[in-house]
Amino acid sequence: MGDKRAKHEQVRGMFNDIAPRYDVMNRLMSLGMDRSWRRATVEMAAAEKPCAILDIATGTGDLAIQLARTMTGAHVTGVDLSEGMIAAGRRKVADAGLQDRVDLRNADALALPFADNSFDVITVAFGVRNFEHLDAGYAEMHRVLRPGGLLLVLELTPPASAVVRPFYRLYTRGVIPAVGRMVSGSSRAYAYLPESIEAVPARGAMTALMDAAGFADTAFRSFTMGVCTLYHGRKS
């Protein structure tokens, strides 16, 4: 339990530290490609015509806002551990005039404060690698998703290609921490980033975890030479 809380607080602290420059760093790190990856996630969600969407690890609300703008009949709830991220996200929601349809709040993904079968679609963008226990996280998502509902997990992944991998490692282990230190003032968060990407299960190993949690029809789609992957599955 002590280790779990240590990881919990470590993640919260890191993201509180970088919240003011988080959006800028996202654009820089991904060379702007994170926008197209999120757009693909939103397109899959929109096909469901959902009324209630939960965005876990919502950060500063980029995906939550995009979901609400695209699906004007849906209500989006976003949750995140970091108070700093939620505060930044609420400002963006207000600027977008979406306070009536986007609700951002602090919550732990491993203990979601929602009743069973509450949401039509659940999204997680660049967040599951920060979960202390992925199996527990998937179990919670399965619990609050309605039967037949869709889970969409967008996550960074090491490229499968042996040709691309050395360049990817140079970029994630050298360039990103250096730029992160200059832009955000935090070397800790952007040194943690490549370690967390390499540690999280990817592709078939990730869908196997989703299967074990009870999701059906699990599959994945890779983007940009495999550096980002969109996983999806349904609650049967």
Say what the pLDDT of residue 2 is.
Answer: 41
Say what the pLDDT of residue 189 is.
Answer: 80
What are the tokens at 199? Answer: 């540690």
What are the tokens at 188? Answer: 């800790």
What digits encode the pLDDT tens for the residues 162-197? 999 999 999 999 988 888 888 877 777 888 888 999
| CB count in 10 Å sphere of residue 170 | 10
What are the tokens at 17? Answer: 């530290």
Using a cut of 0.75, tell me whether the model's pTM lies above it: yes
For 143, the domain range is 2-235
Q: Is the pLDDT of residue 3 over 70?
A: no
CA proximity to 19, closest of 53, 62, 77, 73: 62
Say what the pLDDT of residue 26 is.
Answer: 84
Q: Do the beta carbons of residue 60 and residue 23 sit within 8 Å?
A: yes
What digits encode the pLDDT tens for the residues 125-166? 999 999 989 999 999 999 999 999 999 999 999 999 999 999
Q: Is the pLDDT of residue 52 over 80?
A: yes
> What's the chain's average pLDDT?
93
Q: Say which CATH number the domain at 69 has.
A: 3.40.50.150
Distance CA 32, CA 108 (A): 28
Dihedral sign, CA of 99, 103, 106, 109? negative
Q: Do the beta carbons of residue 140 and residue 119 sit within 8 Å?
A: no
Q: Please count the structural domains in the chain.
A: 1
